[in-house]
Structure 1
Amino acid sequence: MKPVERALHEAVRRLPSCTDTPRLDAELLMAHALGIERDRLILSPPEGPVPESFADYLDRRCAGEPVAYIVGRRAFWNIELEVGPGALIPRPDSETLISAAIEHFAGSYGPERILDLGTGPGTLLLAALDQWPRATGVGIDRSAEALAYARRNSDRLGLSPRAHFRRGNWADGVTERFDLLLCNPPYVAADAELGPGVAEHEPAEALFAGPDGLDDYRRLAPEIGRLLAPGGFAAIEIGFDQRDSAAALFASHGLIPTLVRDLGGRPRVLTIAAPQ
């Protein structure tokens, strides 16, 4: 067995106490240590010694630090994003917002103007701009740290001419109307338990939203209608147990939310379509 393969085998035995995905985590950390992509590691493990950095990466993972922070990036939809402390790590569940928007705009040129509220490292806006090359958009976030990641991601992906990022508090001061509104707000209740390392490492302001997890929906619900252009479409992420509670808040402002489930069948997104 090659040294790299042996080290991976030992890491997979060690990591189950730290993570639910020991094999994946070990492969991602080893590939990062070697400076290669995970696909190459799996298909053709390199000869030679194991980089010393791999042991450090394992220690950090076992201390609860997310893999995405250790390797400094995370894949999302068709793009890869730089992430790190101060930026919420993109989750596969959030891809449901993009797929819902694609379904809505199927058969058309797609949206021309896109708004991403709570953009973080640019996750939803940049994925949408990559999907629709004719579109331009705005990403807003309260965190200067998160916006620094967003701007670097935009530059690296070649999307800076079409993406504008600015610091703000949700839609305060926004007067424009948009064809597509995307939003993944904080929706975790203050006393909820999260997976290992999440609350300890990721920004609390991007996770928690008051005692019932609904504080930011209360802020957003009165704004959505005025932000959508005629025929516009909004996709807003929710927690798996917030289908009725979040929908009721939007409905109380004259909106008609429709539920979209993620690939696991869980309630994940509320969509709102503005009349033409």
Structure 2
Amino acid sequence: MSIGAVLDEAWTLYTKFFTRFFVLALIVFAIVNFVFALFWLALDERASGGVFLGVLALATAIIGQFWLQGAVVFAVEDARDGVFDASTREIFGRVMPLLGTLVVAGLLAGLGVGVGLFLLIVPGLFLLTIWSMVAPVIVLERSDVLGAFGRSRALVRGSGLRVFGLILVTIVLTTIAGNILRAVFSFLPLFLEISVGSTVASAVVAPFSAIALTVAYFMLREREEPVPEDVTAAAIQAEPAVVDGAEVAEPPAEAGEAEPAPDTEYVCPRCGATVAREATACPHCGQDFDLGGDEEPKGS
């Protein structure tokens, strides 16, 4: 897995299916930012119910974040073959049974990374890297919370610096792009700036990070999966036979094992193929038969 390869595929998916990813994110952020806008409006006007709206806004943001993350994972899985088949409703519906697991795992990961960053920074960055595949593991491998952390670490092992570099690059790119887009809507009143401006900006930039991490997951998983032995054996068996420097078609049965029907078939002395008794030449290698020579019919 290389950072360049991941970003290249992620950008291809993002641009090719931009509208689909944008709609997924827009639905989530429209709800999240509307609640946040109500909360900030209540604080600004010192209205009652501010505490309730604050708790509701926090809960909505947490659930929305992981709901969108799971939806993007499913979307990337669907779109990697070049066709985005699933509808928006189908994608969100597939995430619903896994939402609780995603939220719990996300909160635990966020707590661990936050504490690590607050204490020594480096441990937080380390945890951020080895737990970066938790969401794809839960969504695509149906793992439980604890199993997802172990599986994520196993996937990242040996590619930690590249995964960390990928996370760093996507954070920088999306932060810059997001701030530029939000600045475009800064002239709006506070309520509209949050509910409209932040929603559009987040819907544009947020999917890219999730797409990149999901693509990285697929590449890491492909790296650890060896080519099955039966595929290798089939490839070997499919190689054409060579007789006198020329490729010939494989006989219908292995030479030496063919049992021709009595008085009806020959075995070609050149390639071992079983041919009809009335044939004057082997259809597989072109050997001419001298019916008066050494090629005697088997079973006669």
TM-score by length of 1: 0.23
Larger relative contact order (CA 8 Å, sep ≥ 6): 2
Calculate the TM-score normalised by the size of structure 2.
0.22
Q: Report the structure, 1 or 2, having the larger helix content.
A: 2
* Structure of larger gyration radius: 2
Q: Which has the higher strand share?
A: 1
